[in-house]
Amino acid sequence: MTETKPFRIHVPQTDLDDLHRRLTDVRWPDEPPGIGSSRGIPLADMRSLVRRWRDGFDWRAQEERLNAFPQFVTEIDGQTIHYVHVRCGAPGALPLLLTHGWPGSFAEFLGIVEPLTADGYDVVIPSLPGFAFSTPVAETGWGNLFRVASAFAELMTRLGYERFAAHGSDVGAGVTGMLPMVAPGRVVATHINGPGPFPFGPALEVGGLGEADRVRAERFNEFQRDGLGYLHLQSTRPSTLAYSLTDSPAGQLAWIAEKYAEWTDVDLPAEDLLTVASLYWFTRSGASAAHFTYEGMQAFRAFAEQTGETGGTLSSGGVPVGVAVFATDHTIRSLVDPTGLAAHWSEYDRGGHFPALEVPGLLAGELRAFFGAYR
């Protein structure tokens, strides 16, 4: 099957009713006094978010907002792939593939579609296999980023794009970095935000670093010490975690709300977080996203054993690569890009792990400035 089909989001009312019931009947845990956020997202914060999700969040309005963007599905290598595709209509437009990470979704990039298309880019935003409407997952192995990159290159072929550019964040940065390898000669340039050291690697030495890099290194070491619980679970026991993420909307919300709280620099509207939580909940993709992480880590370990590479350094795949570092990133250029491989490097004093949501104007301007040279 190589055809693409138009797609519109429509969650059945029975699913909305079921969500409301579950949010009404949450079984709350006890919380030790005085712990604040030191052990995860506080109970008071979760109660407030659940009330907002149940009583003050209009999914149908968000559904309408998302459906304002042309969406499609196709089958590649046996897997349903969902994507947004917006053509700018300009002759000679440069196609730009945008790939999200975890705990994100295609929806985080929608705020930068208009400035990109206005500047002459065709925009393609796929959902990673196992995320949002690229579900259910047909078989194991889709956490292998080479396989994902190959599928996305095939998607661009089906859309009629022989030549294209790509940007990604988090897992999407890994996919983006592999595109020139799986589609040689077709990717004109790549751009990523927030590359950082390998999280399961050693702590960073802070001696000899400049002030800004020292702060980032200390932040990374703290994250490595106190913030990796989610990654350990998803990369070792996704099946066990899957029951909570699939059966409890409060559990799914807490699982990602903690990361939005810790990894952002800008206060996001609750509607942004609840839209993402709803996408994970309605598509049951909390579980498949966890399995994606597990498989990705297994593939990386196998690669590291074969090559001796431990990750954490920039690769270009033989094409120009641009990097944007936002305020809460752990990126230290002397460690990530010791040989000066990056053709473009920007650092910002605002934004975090989700710049398309937090600082869309900065990210859109960054992408336009970098990719403008490669039309």
Tokens at residue 90, please? Answer: 């300009």
DSSP letter for each residue of 165-188 = EEEEETHHHHHHHHHHHHSTTTEE
**So where are the chain's domains?**
4-29+38-374
Distance CA 177, CA 314 (A): 9
Given a contact cutoff of 8 angstroms between Cβ atoms, the answer to whether 293 and 102 are in contact is yes
pLDDT at residue 311, as a whole number: 60
CA distance 270 to 315: 36
pLDDT tens for 8-47 read: 999 999 999 999 999 999 999 999 999 999 999 999 999 9
294-330 exposure pattern, b = at least 16 Cβ within 10 A, e = fewer: bbbbbbbeeeeeeeeeebbebbebebbbbbbbbbbbb
CATH class of domain segment(s) 4-29+38-374: alpha beta
199-242 pLDDT, tens digit each: 888 899 999 899 999 999 999 999 999 999 999 999 999 999 99
Angle (CA) 59-269-282 rounded to 5° is 30
Q: Please give the chain's pLDDT, 375 residues, in tens.
A: 578 999 999 999 999 999 999 999 999 999 999 999 999 999 999 999 999 999 999 999 999 999 999 999 999 999 999 999 999 999 989 999 999 999 999 999 999 999 999 999 999 999 999 999 999 999 999 999 999 999 999 999 999 999 999 999 999 999 999 999 999 999 999 999 999 888 888 899 999 899 999 999 999 999 999 999 999 999 999 999 999 999 999 999 999 999 999 999 999 999 999 999 999 999 999 999 999 999 999 887 776 667 655 566 788 889 999 999 999 999 999 999 999 999 999 999 999 999 999 999 999 999 999 999 998
196: left (phi over 0), alpha (psi -120 to 50) or beta: beta
Residue partners of 25: CB distance under 8 A and separation at least 6: none
* Backbone phi and psi for residue 2, each to the nearest 5 degrees, phi listed first: -125, 0
Tokens for 94, please give them: 């440069």
